[in-house]
Each structure stands twice: as C-alpha cells, then as structure tokens.
Structure 1
Amino acid sequence: MSIVKEFKDFASRGNVVDLAVGVIIGAAFGKIVTSLVNDIIMPPLGMLLSGIDFKDLKYVLKPAVGKTPETAINYGLFINNIIDFVIVAFCIFLIVKGVNSLRKEEAAAPAPDPAPTKEETLLTEIRDLLAKK
C-alpha cells in the first residue's frame, strides 16, 4: 500500500475529522475564555484589590538600561493564565459530565427481550430431554 493511500485512509477516518473539529472549536473557545478573564473578570477583581491590574504585576530582576529591555518575572500574567485554565477546565468538566450522563441513560435502558425463535425453542426442548436421560 502506498504512503499516499495510507495517509488518505488515516485522514478520512471519522475520529481524525472529529479531532480536527474539536481542536478548532477548542481554540476559538480558548479565545472567548481569555477575553472573559481579561476583559470581564480581572478588572472588577483588580478594583476590589485596590486598583491592581494583574497584567502589571511583575518582579523586576534587572531594570531596563538604555535600549536593553528589563528582565522581569510576570507573575500577574501567570495568574491570568491560571484563571483561564480553571474556567476552561470547569467548562470541559461540565461538557464531559453531560455527555456521560447521556451515555448512562442509554446504557440503563435495557433492550427488550426478544421472544425465542422456533429453532431456539426446539433446541431447548432437545437439551431438556437429553438432560433427563
């Protein structure tokens, strides 16, 4: 089998397409959550904390000298990213929980027991007769 045909078979599988759609939607969802954190959650939180803007929180290791930029640890941006992660993780948790509850409902509904066919009934009778002998 040629490598082109193998790649075509791989790429045309349903799981690969589903994964690609999931990654694209996940990236868009990440942008929405980042905007939610940066534009809606952090400003009131900063206001409650005496007007602190988390983006500006940093520990300067070496101040800027001339054209050389400062070297700093931007822990405020890290806090923003942690909040982003927590929100995304919680949303994914809710989605997975919803999907799992739907699957449990499907699995809990037992399939109706079909009536035995004539062959099954005959074989059962033969088995019972052989067991008596």
Structure 2
Amino acid sequence: MWKEFKEFISRGNVIDLAVGVIIGGAFTAIVTSLTTNVINPFIGLFLGKIDLSNLVLKVGGATFKYGAFLNSIINFLIIAFVVFLLIKAINRLVKKQPVKAVPDQKQVLLEEIRDLLKDANQK
C-alpha cells in the first residue's frame, strides 16, 4: 500500500495540483488585500462609504451583510480575469503542435479490401 501511495503522490499531476493550490491560496490573499485596501475605498468614494464590508441590510432580526458579498464578487472577478490573462499568455507561449491526421478505420479497412480484391483479380 505504501508503494502505491508513493507512486500516486509522485506523479506529475498530483504535484502540479499541489503547487497550484498553494500558489492559488497565496494569490487569493493578494487579491483580497487589493480588493479590501485599494478597490473598495475607491468604490466607497462614490458611495459615500469607505468600507464596503460594513454595508448591511437589517430586516426584522436578520442582518444581511451584502457589503461582504460585494467584496467576494469583486475578488472573484479579479481572480477570474487574472487567470484568463495567464492562460491567454501561456497559450501564446506554447507552440501549437500540428495535428496529425488520424486515418479513419473504415477507410483503412476499405482500402485493404480493395487492394486484396485487386490482387485476387490479377491472379
């Protein structure tokens, strides 16, 4: 069982995934800081409030923290946009390999039958 686990954990995909998760966590912290410390105060200038996370709506005994929800939406949009830009840049750097035409199996079989019939008729 240890050998199987060692093989599983040492495969490239698992290690790449682990690195991606770690970098993603660090990147999320950066984007959260950007949203909280730069973007929200800028938006707050137009709304008359500096901190969006304090925006709440109280209905009866319930408190809806829609400001925190807005922060999460802004964070998501920033992360999605940066990931889009990264993938776009990587696609430009990676050379596209020419796609080799894979012959259709039916076509190959038909050609073999044709060749066999042609050889049989010539004898």
Q: What letter corresponds to residue 46 of structure 2 in structure 1?
A: L
Work out the CA distance in 2 between the residues paired with 1:62 and 1:30.
35
| Residue 25 (structure 1) shift | 0.5
Partner of 1:15: 13
TM-score by length of 2: 0.73
Identity value in percent: 49
Q: Which has the larger radius of gyration?
A: 1
Paired positions, count: 99
**CA distance, structure 2, for counterparts of residue 97 and residue 73 of structure 1:** 38
- Is 1:100 the counterpart of 2:91? The answer is yes
| Aligned-partner SS, 1:107 | coil
Gaps of 5+ in 1: 64-70, 109-133
TM-score (norm 1): 0.68
What per-residue deviation string (whole Å, max 9, x for no partner) do you get for residues 15-47 of structure 1?
111110110000000000000000011012101
Unaligned runs of 5+ in 2: 99-123
After TM superposition, the runs of 4+ consecutive aligned structure 1 residues lying more than 4 A away are none
Q: Which residue of the other structure, out of 82, 91, 99, is the alignment partner of 2:82?
A: 91
Residue from 40, 43, 59 that aligns with 1:61: 59
